[in-house]
Amino acid sequence: MAKKKQSSNVSGWIIAGLLGVVAYQSGILDRLGQTAATAQASTAPSRVIKSDSASAPLNKPRYVNVASLNVRHTPSASGPLIMALPRGTPMKVLDRKDGWLLIDLSPTLEGWVTEQFTTVQAPS
Are both 115 and 92 inside the same structural domain? yes
Are both 33 and 60 inside the same structural domain? no
Number of domains forming the structure of the chain: 2
Is position 2 within any domain? Answer: no
Closest listed residue to residue 117, CA positions, set 80, 88, 97: 88
Query: What separation in angstroms does the CA of 38 have from each of 20, 32, 35, 42?
Result: 23, 10, 5, 6
Looking at every residue in the chain, the average pLDDT score rounds to 75
| pTM as predicted | 0.56
56-67 per-position pLDDT tens digit: 778 888 999 999
Are both 83 and 112 inside the same structural domain? yes
Are both 58 and 113 inside the same structural domain? yes
**Domain extent for 75:** 46-119
The C-alpha atoms of residue 79 and residue 15 are separated, in whole angstroms, by 40
* CATH code assigned at 51: 2.30.30.40
Are both 92 and 109 inside the same structural domain? yes
Residue 52 has pLDDT above 60, yes or no: no
